[in-house]
Amino acid sequence: MSVLLLSAITTSASAQDSLMRITTTSETVVTTSPPSSRFAPKNFRTWSIGVHAGVLTPYTIFRGETNDFNKPMENWGYGGYIKKQILPAFGIQADFLAGYVEGKKASGISTLPNYENSRFKSHIDWSAALTLNYTVASFNINRINSVFAPYVKAGAGYMSSNVTLENMTSTGRGYEQNWFIPVGLGIKIGIAKGINLDLGYDVNFMKTSDFDGVQSGSYDNFSYGKFGLEFALGKKSSPQLSRYSAVADLREQAAAESAELRNKLLAAQIQAQSISDQYNNDKMMYDNEKAQMMKDFADDDNDGVANKYDKCPNTPEKTVVDGSGCPLNAKAPVINETKIYVTEADRKVVDEAIKNLEFDLNKATIREKSFESLTKVANLLVEKNFSLKLGGHTDNTGSMALNMRLSKERAEAVKAFLVSKGANPSRIEAVGYGPNQPIASNKTEEGRQKNRRVEFTLY
């Protein structure tokens, strides 16, 4: 039974894919399945710009408060950057920074009276640096666009600055340019699609010892604590590469594919159950028809004439009967019947209906283009009180149960249409023969199309 159901599922889609008519026709249905979205190419937003502001101070985590000046001061700084994300974890960005770095109490004059009021103030006119940005991890593996993205960065830059000194032996120096090495860490927090809050801390190591105007034995450095906003460039529908979580994306796709497979399996189970029910119904109908046939063709009175054709049933044993089952010495019953003549014009109406008869693919739904010629047949039946036998036939493609059902349903559909137009239902017989009465070979497509037909017998 299970083998039969599986066979019915796999073959039902291909059975009866042409129109059921007398004339040869063909119909091709092409279906395509969409490719799986897993590992499909994705479009990302890889360019972004950022602006930030924060505090500049000579105090750093590497040198503490002890420097050429013992009391670090805080001043506002500002800047921005342009970033290109190469991989989800790696990006390159160009940083820009400006502002003032200030300190008090020069350590070299701590014993002099003006120690308390000595100070330096370095003006960063401009600075530009190229840094590599590495995203350490994503704290949310359940979302394709992660919310938290900590990062570290390092690079090299070039700066133009000057410095002024107060209450010291020198008043400072003019603008000069120096190399520096920026390193930093921070975290980006997604606050909207394509917009991140950027919190970070940078230490800039100068390639000079007089950034603060005092020559010493070690290079100067200063820190920059910042907060800012990053804006992703590109289509809003595309995810930002720096916040993209491949693991979360894979999980979502796997979940979607799993749900799709479950739905397909459920649909297949429902279809298999439907075919099983139909098979049982068809088998019951076949058994009933077989039992009726055996009853009709039995000979209960043993006179040599089947019950179906015996007009004188229950004749005594050994009675000589004629072809209708009646004794030869008895008068056969007189049946008054009006002889019906079918003209060439009548046959032409039926032939035209046969040529125009079309059904929806694999269904018993008559197409609208067939209505006009079928209506003419119905008018002919009403006008001349003809009788009509409709025989539905199929090829041998698909299961027997499916073909028997489809041929019967299509013949019944034609009968229902004719009755709806006024024809006498008692004078129309609809029979489905399935593939049992081929008129051509089923080994070729041409032969199979000839076998898919509805026969009209007018009498």
pLDDT digits (tens, 9 = 90+) for 202-226: 999 999 988 998 887 788 999 999 9
% of the chain at pLDDT higher than 90: 28
Across the range 81-109, mean pLDDT stands at 92
Is the domain of 348 the same as that of 432? yes
What is the predicted pLDDT for the residue at 26?
33
44 touches 244 (CB < 8 A): yes
What is the predicted pLDDT for the residue at 3?
39
Confidence label for 200 from pLDDT (cuts 50, 70 and 90): very high
How far is C-alpha 138 from the chain's CA centre? 28
How far is C-alpha 390 from the chain's CA centre? 44
Is the domain of 249 the same as that of 239? no
Is the domain of 64 the same as that of 212? yes
Is the domain of 341 the same as that of 306? no
Is the domain of 354 the same as that of 445? yes
Q: What is the CATH number of the domain that holds 175?
A: 2.40.160.20
Is the domain of 219 the same as that of 104? yes
pLDDT at residue 10 greater than cutoff 50:
no
Is the domain of 219 the same as that of 73? yes
Is the domain of 324 the same as that of 404? no
Say which range, 68-72, 127-131, 133-137, 241-245, has the weakest mean pLDDT.
Answer: 241-245
% of the chain at pLDDT higher than 70: 84
What is the predicted pLDDT for the residue at 181?
97
C-beta pairs of 237-241 under 8 Å, 24+ apart in sequence? 238/42, 238/43, 238/44, 238/45, 239/42, 239/44, 239/45, 239/144, 239/145, 240/44, 240/45, 240/48, 240/85, 240/145, 240/194, 240/196, 241/44, 241/45, 241/46, 241/85, 241/87, 241/88
Is the domain of 236 the same as that of 255? no
Q: Domain tally for the chain? A: 4
Say which range, 159-163, 305-309, 389-393, has the weakest mean pLDDT.
Answer: 305-309
Q: Which residue has the higher pLDDT, 43 or 82?
A: 82
Q: Cα(349)–Cα(218) distance, rounded to whole angstroms?
A: 111
Residue 23 lies in a domain: no
pLDDT at residue 254 greater than cutoff 90:
no
pLDDT digits (tens, 9 = 90+) for 369-386: 889 989 988 998 888 888
Across the range 395-405, mean pLDDT stands at 86
Confidence label for 143 from pLDDT (cuts 50, 70 and 90): low
Confidence label for 430 from pLDDT (cuts 50, 70 and 90): confident
Average pLDDT, the chain: 81
The verdict on pTM exceeding 0.75 is: no
pLDDT at residue 65 greater than cutoff 60:
no
Is the domain of 307 the same as that of 408? no
Q: Cα(1)–Cα(6) distance, rounded to whole angstroms?
A: 9
Confidence label for 157 from pLDDT (cuts 50, 70 and 90): very high
Q: What is the CATH number of the domain that holds 359?
A: 3.30.1330.60
367 touches 352 (CB < 8 A): no
């047949």: which residue's tokens? 377
Give the residue from 353, 367, 364, 368 showing the smallest Cα distance to 423.
353
Q: Cα(408)–Cα(363) distance, rounded to whole angstroms?
A: 11
Residue 106 lies in a domain: yes
Cα angle 312, 317, 323; round to 5:
40
Range of the domain at 361: 337-458
Residue 62 lies in a domain: yes
pLDDT at residue 271 greater than cutoff 80:
yes
Q: Cα(131)–Cα(59) distance, rounded to whole angstroms?
A: 22
Is the domain of 326 the same as that of 344? no
Is the domain of 153 the same as that of 64? yes
Residue 17 lies in a domain: no
């666009």: which residue's tokens? 145
